[in-house]
Amino acid sequence: MIGRVEAFVLRRLLALPAPVQRFIGGTPESGDPIDPTIAMLLRVQRWRGQAGLSAGTPERTRRRIRRTAALMGGRPTPVGAVHDVTVAGRLRGRHYVPADGSDLLVVFFHGGGFVAGDLDTHDETCRLLCVSARARVLSVAYRLAPEAPFPAAVEDACAAVNWAFTRAPAVAVCGDSAGANLAAVACRTLRGGERTPVAQALLYPLADHVGEWPSRSRFRSGPVLTARDLDFFRRHYLPGPVTADPRHSPLRAPDLTGLPPAIVVTAALDPLRDEGEAYAAALRAAGVPVRAWRVPGMVHAFANLTSVSEAARRAVVEVGTLLRT
């Protein structure tokens, strides 16, 4: 639970005039323009001694991400109904039902570097998608590393999508960061089966564990996601030698033809920006219909910042709207 003092301070900060927020936030180390509200909140976090997402151990990292998500979550977006469910006989899930909607079921995989994140950290993200897509959303708590390293999360993602096929006439997949990786990998793994997802929506996906990308160097100190974080998450998810395996690096797949239409959204100030945009380009080159764009001034994990940034909120709502169409 977040403290009342933290919540009070956040409300006061968000009420400050934009010029004051811009002054407090300053300019990132990279010099790139950044959303002033997000910059201010990140500067306050650094003053409190918190930089990046990882916190030394998996459990401390999970607590940090849960606490930050609770603080930034804001007032929940109303939906028709929410039910906790069991997915594929063994996975925890949360089912969001719109007040009115279509037959589409969106299977959502949360971010958190394959180590952290849960149903609660991405509750508001799923609510926004449910309303904007006018579709049911199934959030899946896949197994986390290091207790369950690769390929456990991939197996869970595929099991969840196959389970969803038995519950809805149309199934799409969606995820952010590590969850977007799982959504992409599930689409390729299930390609050619009796049923495949009708669409894939990938928010700032981790697409390549082995390549060197300019954005990883440019934003190695963040904001939000750092090179240290990426190394921490990779070591726990992929404890052995890292090879160009498309089951963890979808950009390394030799053949991307026949995959579902894709929505790929990247953030301007994100180490994962370039590989996400390269994956969108690779899908397009393989003949996959792609809608892709970069959100200016935005940082990694913006799907968790929709209550404090209108630009972040608009981006998530746009994804939901495109899934609806």
What is the percent of the chain with per-residue pLDDT over 70, rounded to a whole number?
97
Stated as kind and residue range, the H or E segment containing 5 is: helix 4-14
Measured CA to CA, the distance from residue 109 to residue 225 in angstroms comes to 18
**Which residue reads 């080159």 in tokens?**
285
Helix axes 36-47, 18-25, angle to 10 degrees: 50
Confidence label for 6 from pLDDT (cuts 50, 70 and 90): low
Helix axes 36-47, 4-14, angle to 10 degrees: 140
Count of residues making up the chain:
325
Q: What's the chain's Rg over C-alpha atoms?
A: 18
Note the pLDDT of residue 13: 80
Cβ contact 174:108 at 8 Å:
yes
Q: What is the pLDDT of residues 245-304, one digit of tens each?
A: 999 999 999 999 999 999 999 999 999 999 999 999 999 999 999 999 999 999 999 999
More confident residue, 164 or 43: 164
Cβ contact 260:195 at 8 Å:
no
Q: What is the pLDDT of residues 41-92, one digit of tens each?
A: 888 777 777 778 999 999 999 999 999 898 887 899 999 999 999 999 999 9
What one-letter code names the amino acid at 216?
R
- Structure-token pair, residue 146: 């290091």
What is the torsional sign of CA 70, 300, 142, 289? positive
For the chain, what is the mean pLDDT?
94
Kindly give the pairing relationship between strand 91-97 and strand 81-87: antiparallel
**Residue numbers of the domain that contains 78:** 4-324
Mean pLDDT of 140-157: 99
Q: How far is CA 126 from the centre of its chain?
A: 11
- φ/ψ (deg, to 5) at 42: -70, -40
∠ CA 163-168-171, nearest 5°, is 80
Residue 94 has pLDDT above 90, yes or no: yes
Q: What is the pLDDT of residues 165-213, one digit of tens each?
A: 999 999 999 999 999 999 999 999 999 888 999 999 999 999 999 999 9
Cβ contact 132:203 at 8 Å:
no
Note the pLDDT of residue 18: 78
What is the torsional sign of CA 78, 178, 101, 292? positive
Residue 111 has pLDDT above 80, yes or no: yes
Residue 29 has pLDDT above 80, yes or no: no
Q: How far is CA 79 from the centre of its chain?
A: 20
Q: Total domain count for the chain?
A: 1
What one-letter code names the amino acid at 146?
P
Mean pLDDT of 123-151: 98
Q: Which of 31-45, 87-101, 233-247 has the lowest mean pLDDT?
A: 31-45
- φ/ψ (deg, to 5) at 27: -115, 135
Active-site residues: which are they? 177, 270, 300
Note the pLDDT of residue 1: 39
Note the pLDDT of residue 2: 47
CATH number of the domain where residue 182 is located: 3.40.50.1820
